[in-house]
């Protein structure tokens, strides 16, 4: 269901209407020199907002936890010398007060913080009555309600310049990404909060500099409004996230290579063939649902048999057999193991639910 929050368009943040909006800068502020070198170079490529982490939430203690407040002066200098807007992450009330005092233009809430409603509420309370854009990163776990909840808390403080950042989600699955992108979750967010700008963070999704381009392009192809890309003059010696940062020259290159495709076209022949193909998809989707309904009817029969004989619902070897043969079959049809596993897990879970109901009826 669509939610009604007052959300202003991106231009209200003080940027020009060119899309995608590009935010870039180092994972962490390290030195004044590093900040200024990076900022001047990025400005040349049309970056409108400079990012730098001042306080860093690190997974393990005794690693670099950010330069702290001194870095805010460097952000001020970046703004003064380049005219770019500045942004940083805030994770508690002290960060909010210091960032506001030093004139940071845009704040973001990090993935670990947005997963914690107490922390988000404290930040929201500190922002009461302040007019500043606030971007909310997705929480590390793929829980759309938690993400929306964090956005609502910030909106509750009267903030109307809101945005979301999709930075991928933690996963225990083996994956080529550092943080698994869940495009579907971002799409669902867009349909729940229609006007909410969504920025993609390809750096934290990819985790590797060489994958940042493909994630960026995908985000644009899915209609996300902007990108936040980490950049460091010499990523090899960066104090945090060195593996995923691009040099400013690489950012310039990436921006040149990105293809910005329009959402739609006036070409009537194209619109007609797209409509035809979409109606084929709709018919096929109906057929999928009918087949699943038939499958579930068989599941119900099995459930009744099991109840009559009083045997348990799950036979582990049976499930292993289903998934193995589906993956074998699927791969001959060009379907990935990952997709087959997700699909069959969902179908199997529904089957278990149905049989549990029968067993307890
Ligand atoms: C960051 O932007 O450097 C950062 C710490 O991001 P996240 O909160 O997405 O991990
Ligand atoms: Mn980082």
Kindly state whether residues 72 and 221 are assigned to the same domain: yes
Backbone dihedral angles phi then psi of residue 207, each to the nearest 5 degrees = 75, -10
* Residues, CB within 5 angstroms of ligand 2 (ion): 27, 241
Kindly state whether residues 118 and 65 are assigned to the same domain: yes
Pocket test for ligand 1, best of 204, 215, 232, 246 (most atoms within 8 A of CB): 204
Is 103 part of any domain?
Answer: yes
Helix axes 70-82, 32-44, angle to 10 degrees: 30
**Single residue among 233, 257, 281 that ends a domain in this structure:** 257
Cα distance between residue 13 and residue 26, in whole Å: 21
pLDDT in tens, 202-226: 999 999 999 999 999 999 999 999 9
Pocket test for ligand 1, best of 29, 57, 111 (most atoms within 8 A of CB): 111
**Single residue among 257, 291, 319 that ends a domain in this structure:** 257
CATH of the domain at 331: 1.20.59.10
Kindly state whether residues 186 and 283 are assigned to the same domain: no
CB-ligand 1 contact for 197 (6 Å cutoff): no
Kindly state whether residues 148 and 251 are assigned to the same domain: yes
Kindly state whether residues 109 and 174 are assigned to the same domain: yes
Kindly state whether residues 285 and 230 are assigned to the same domain: no
Is 272 part of any domain?
Answer: yes
**Single residue among 257, 282, 316 that ends a domain in this structure:** 257
Task: Tell me the average confidence (pLDDT) per consecutive run of 10 residues in the chain, 361 residues long.
Answer: 89 93 98 98 97 92 93 98 98 98 98 98 97 98 97 98 98 91 96 96 98 98 97 97 98 97 91 95 97 96 92 84 93 94 94 92 85
Is 263 part of any domain?
Answer: no
pLDDT in tens, 122-157: 999 999 999 999 999 999 999 999 999 999 999 999
| 3-class SS of residue 171 | coil
Cα distance between residue 149 and residue 146, in whole Å: 5
Is 179 part of any domain?
Answer: yes
Is 3 part of any domain?
Answer: no
Kindly state whether residues 273 and 143 are assigned to the same domain: no
**What pLDDT is stored for residue 317 in this prediction?**
87
Kindly state whether residues 208 and 136 are assigned to the same domain: yes
Q: Which atom of ligand 1 is nearest to the CA of 137?
A: 9
**What pLDDT is stored for residue 263 in this prediction?**
87
Is 67 part of any domain?
Answer: yes
**What pLDDT is stored for residue 302 in this prediction?**
93
Residue 240 alpha carbon to ligand 2 centre in Å: 6
CATH of the domain at 109: 3.20.20.70
CA geometry: angle 247, 63, 209, nearest 5 deg: 25
Kindly state whether residues 112 and 133 are assigned to the same domain: yes
Kindly state whether residues 274 and 253 are assigned to the same domain: no
**What pLDDT is stored for residue 316 in this prediction?**
80
Domain residue limits at 205: 10-257
Kindly state whether residues 205 and 235 are assigned to the same domain: yes
Kindly state whether residues 110 and 192 are assigned to the same domain: yes
Q: How many domains does the chain have?
A: 2
pLDDT in tens, 70-116: 999 999 999 999 999 999 999 999 999 999 999 999 999 999 999 99
**CA neighbor of 219 nearest in space, from 236, 199, 233:** 199
Is 281 part of any domain?
Answer: yes
**CA neighbor of 13 nearest in space, from 129, 138, 107, 113:** 107
**Partners of residue 31 on adjacent β-strands:** none
Is 38 part of any domain?
Answer: yes
**What pLDDT is stored for residue 314 in this prediction?**
81
Model-wide pTM > 0.85: yes
């Amino acid at each position: 269901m669509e939610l009604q929050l007052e959300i202003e368009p991106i231009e209200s943040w003080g940027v020009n209407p060119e899309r995608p909006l590009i935010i870039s800068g180092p994972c962490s502020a390290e030195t004044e020199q590093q900040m200024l070198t990076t900022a001047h170079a990025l400005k040349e490529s049309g970056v409108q907002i400079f990012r730098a982490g001042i306080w860093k939430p690190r997974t393990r203690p005794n690693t670099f936890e950010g330069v702290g407040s001194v870095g805010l002066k460097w952000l001020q200098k970046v703004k003064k010398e380049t005219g770019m807007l500045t942004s940083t992450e805030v994770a508690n009330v002290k960060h909010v007060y210091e960032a506001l005092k030093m004139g940071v233009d845009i704040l973001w809430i990090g993935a670990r913080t947005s997963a914690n409603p107490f922390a988000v509420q404290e930040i929201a309370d500190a922002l009461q009555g302040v007019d500043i854009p606030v971007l909310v990163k997705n929480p590390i776990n793929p829980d759309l309600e938690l993400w929306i909840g964090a956005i609502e808390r910030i909106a509750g403080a009267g903030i109307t310049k809101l945005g979301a950042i999709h930075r991928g989600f933690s996963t225990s699955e083996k994956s080529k990404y550092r943080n698994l992108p869940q495009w579907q979750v971002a799409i669902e967010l867009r349909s729940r909060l229609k006007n909410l700008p969504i920025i993609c963070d390809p750096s934290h999704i990819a985790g590797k500099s060489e994958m940042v381009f493909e994630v960026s392009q995908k985000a644009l192809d899915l209609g996300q409004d902007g990108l936040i890309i980490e950049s460091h003059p010499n990523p090899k010696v960066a104090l945090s996230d060195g593996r995923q940062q691009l040099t400013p020259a690489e950012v310039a290159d990436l921006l040149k290579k990105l293809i910005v495709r329009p959402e739609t076209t006036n070409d009537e022949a194209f619109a007609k063939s797209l409509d035809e193909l979409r109606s084929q998809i709709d018919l096929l989707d109906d057929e999928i649902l009918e087949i699943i309904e038939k499958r579930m009817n068989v599941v119900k029969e099995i459930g009744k048999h099991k109840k009559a004989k009083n045997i348990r619902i799950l036979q582990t070897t049976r499930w292993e057999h289903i998934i193995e043969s589906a993956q074998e079959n699927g791969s001959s049809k060009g379907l990935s193991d990952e997709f087959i596993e997700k699909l069959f897990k969902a179908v199997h879970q529904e089957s278990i639910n149905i049989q549990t109901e029968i067993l307890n009826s």
